[in-house]
Amino acid sequence: MRVKFLYFLLLIPLAQVWAGSLYYYIDENGVWHFSDTRRDERFNKMIVWPEQSNSSIKLNVDINFDYYIKDACRLYGVEENLVRAMIKVESNFDPNAVSKKGAQGLMQLMPKTAEMLRLIDPFHPRENIYAGVAYFKSLLVKYHWDERLALAGYNAGPGAVDKYNGIPPYPETQNYVKKVLEYREQYQGKYLPKSKVIILSERTAPKQ
């Protein structure tokens, strides 16, 4: 049923999928229901974006940012709300974000850092989050779990933190640390709704 649905959806012109919001849910019989509005809480939003490639496009379904954040934080022993705050400041939860300096994805990993972490697709939410959390964990260990120094190292690079033996005197870095900690405080105790998305991705879709 699922495979047939994937092939069916691939026949829909990308322009039609991209034109507006699309919501879906799967009922108890495995039937897919679609709507251009969220009729009730059963409906999840489909978020679709193209891979940076001229090749054919495939589907990877049911991606959940918050699930990946929780799982990555559980795996690496990092606080969930701190990572949510980092993503908020880094990319505002835009998986396609690219900074002027070339940082990519939800956690804005630089290409060299992504290569060091063996990250294949920096724009895939799951891979980006896991790699970003792993890298941040290494900084926490390096700076003896000092969150401020680890955040400064994530933003300006550990070399800058080591050079100044503390948070570098860069306005961008100082503001980054301040904003992340402020957002972390805001997220504490708040209900964070889950959001399932569907991603068009050539490299990350499971092989059929």
Q: Hey, which residues does 27 pair with through a beta bridge?
A: none
Say if residues 48 and 17 touch (Cβ distance below 8 Å). Answer: yes
Q: Are the C-beta atoms of 106 and 132 separated by less than 8 Å?
A: yes
Pairing verdict, β 32-35 and 44-46: unpaired
Report the amino acid identity of residue 43: F
From 90, 172, 182, 202, the catalytic residue? 90
Residue 202 a catalytic site member: no
How far, in Å, CA of 169 to CA of 164, rounded? 8
Instruction: Compute CA 187 distance to the chain's CA centroid, rounded to the nearest angstrom.
Output: 17
Active site residues: 90
